[in-house]
């Protein structure tokens, strides 16, 4: 009895146990090395797992329990060996894609000075191609004939017809967005009065980070079917409009001069404010309680609009105060047509006391 137990331990468990211990103590060294290279942060753990699984398959390759099918689909028998190999192919393809898109492709992008949108498109396409190849390799290893996938395609077509229209529509819309690029990574967009930057264009949805640091998940089909404002499409330059009103006692020419001074002063300290096209002062008209003006200033980046408008408003208030130009507020006159006599007498009597 003891001899048989010793034989099992010697032939089947001692060597794997030694390998596990060696890999366990090697893992921190691998992670430390990868952190220096700024590689995918959890890649070291996956490398250790892959090393163990490859050793496991090679060490037990002649074991009947590893190759014995425990479930069958037609003529295809599924065993532990096939499951492990399939897992290796799919996950290794995923991590190879991640490493290439984070470590190797950025140097190519910087060499050709490609913008973020094109970089993201190439990264997505590279990832999809690698994963499709991995899926076909897995099907071949398992023993599934590619011709049998026509049946799966037919079933998928029925599923699309009955309940997957949304998913399919969003997936195809995502591919259109990547190629046609009406929006791209880094664009400043307005979706239902929410201002934000496009961060990711995924298979089903696009992630937008608002100016309040809130992440909004928008279905890809929305960008092709609804009205969306893209402030970065074509040229990133945008015209900033800052309205202001002054009292009727003010000199409009003096107001124009001061507002232009505000625009040029902001351009001196803020490189986002452009002097070409030149700032322009628009005399809107005669309001109920003020002469209404607007400053037109061009900004090089839509992300700076809020900051520039705030700075301009501070400067307007300061320069108007220094030059005694009043910014009026709405005033109303109250006319009393009839008042109760007893109420007036009581009020006057309180005043006399």
Across residues 124-131, what is the average pLDDT? 87
Residue among 192, 292, 194, 313 at smallest CA distance from 246: 292
- Of residues 1 and 334, the one with the higher pLDDT is 334
The span from the CA of 340 to the CA of 342, in Å, is: 6
The tens digit of pLDDT for each residue in 177-202 reads 877 888 888 888 988 888 889 988 88
Fold of 178-230: SH3 type barrels. (2.30.30)
- Of residues 191 and 38, the one with the higher pLDDT is 191
pTM of structure: 0.57
CA 132 → CA 128, 129, 138, 139, distances in Å?
6, 5, 10, 11
Residue 154 has pLDDT above 80, yes or no: no
The helix or strand, by DSSP H or E, that contains position 218, with its residue range, turns out to be: strand 215-219
SS3 205: strand
CA geometry: angle at 93 spanning 92 and 99, to 5°? Answer: 85
- Of residues 95 and 160, the one with the higher pLDDT is 95
Token match 């994963």: residue?
131
Per-chain mean pLDDT for the chain: 81
Query: If you ran DSSP here, which 8-state letter would residue 127 be given?
Result: H
The tens digit of pLDDT for each residue in 71-85 reads 776 666 778 888 888
The tens digit of pLDDT for each residue in 222-243 reads 888 888 888 888 777 888 999 9
The helix or strand, by DSSP H or E, that contains position 333, with its residue range, turns out to be: none
- CATH 3.30.70.100: does it fit domain 238-322? yes
Q: Where are the domains of the chain?
A: 2-165, 178-230, 238-322
Token match 């002469």: residue?
291
Residue 353 has pLDDT above 70, yes or no: no
Q: What is the reported pLDDT for 20? A: 76
Residue 274 has pLDDT above 60, yes or no: yes
Residue 141 has pLDDT above 80, yes or no: no
Give 234's contacts (C-beta < 8 A, 6+ positions apart).
none
């Amino acid at each position: 009895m003891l001899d048989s137990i010793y034989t099992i331990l010697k032939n089947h468990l001692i060597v794997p146990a030694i390998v596990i211990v060696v890999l366990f103590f090697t893992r921190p060294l691998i992670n430390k090395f990868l952190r220096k290279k700024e590689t995918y942060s959890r890649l070291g753990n996956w490398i250790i797992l892959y090393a163990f699984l490859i050793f496991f398959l090679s060490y037990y390759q002649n074991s009947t329990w590893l190759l014995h099918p425990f479930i069958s689909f037609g003529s295809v028998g599924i065993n532990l060996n096939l499951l492990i190999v399939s897992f290796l192919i799919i996950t290794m393809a995923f991590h190879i894609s991640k490493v290439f898109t984070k470590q190797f492709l950025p140097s190519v992008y910087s060499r050709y000075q490609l913008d973020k949108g094109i970089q993201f498109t190439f990264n997505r396409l590279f990832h999809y191609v690698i994963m499709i190849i991995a899926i076909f390799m897995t099907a071949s290893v398992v023993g599934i004939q590619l011709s049998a996938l026509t049946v799966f395609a037919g079933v998928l077509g029925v599923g699309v017809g009955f309940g997957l229209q949304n998913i399919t529509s969003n997936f195809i819309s995502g591919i259109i967005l990547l190629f046609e690029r009406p929006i791209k990574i880094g664009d400043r967009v307005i979706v239902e009065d929410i201002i934000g930057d496009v961060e990711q264009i995924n298979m089903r949805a696009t992630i937008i980070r608002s100016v309040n640091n809130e992440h909004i998940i928008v279905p890809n089909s929305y960008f092709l079917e609804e009205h969306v404002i893209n402030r970065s499409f074509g040229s990133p330059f945008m015209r900033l409009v800052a309205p202001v009103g002054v009292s009727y006692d003010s000199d409009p020419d003096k107001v124009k001069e001061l507002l232009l001074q505000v625009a040029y002063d902001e351009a001196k300290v803020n490189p986002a404010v452009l002097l070409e096209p030149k700032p322009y002062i628009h005399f809107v008209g005669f309001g109920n309680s003020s002469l209404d003006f607007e400053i037109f200033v061009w900004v090089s980046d839509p992300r700076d609009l809020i900051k520039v408008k705030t700075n301009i408003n501070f400067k307007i208030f300061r320069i108007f105060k220094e030059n005694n130009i009043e910014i009026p507020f709405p005033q109303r006159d109250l006319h009393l047509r009839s008042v109760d006599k007893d109420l007036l007498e009581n009020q006057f009597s309180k005043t006399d006391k």
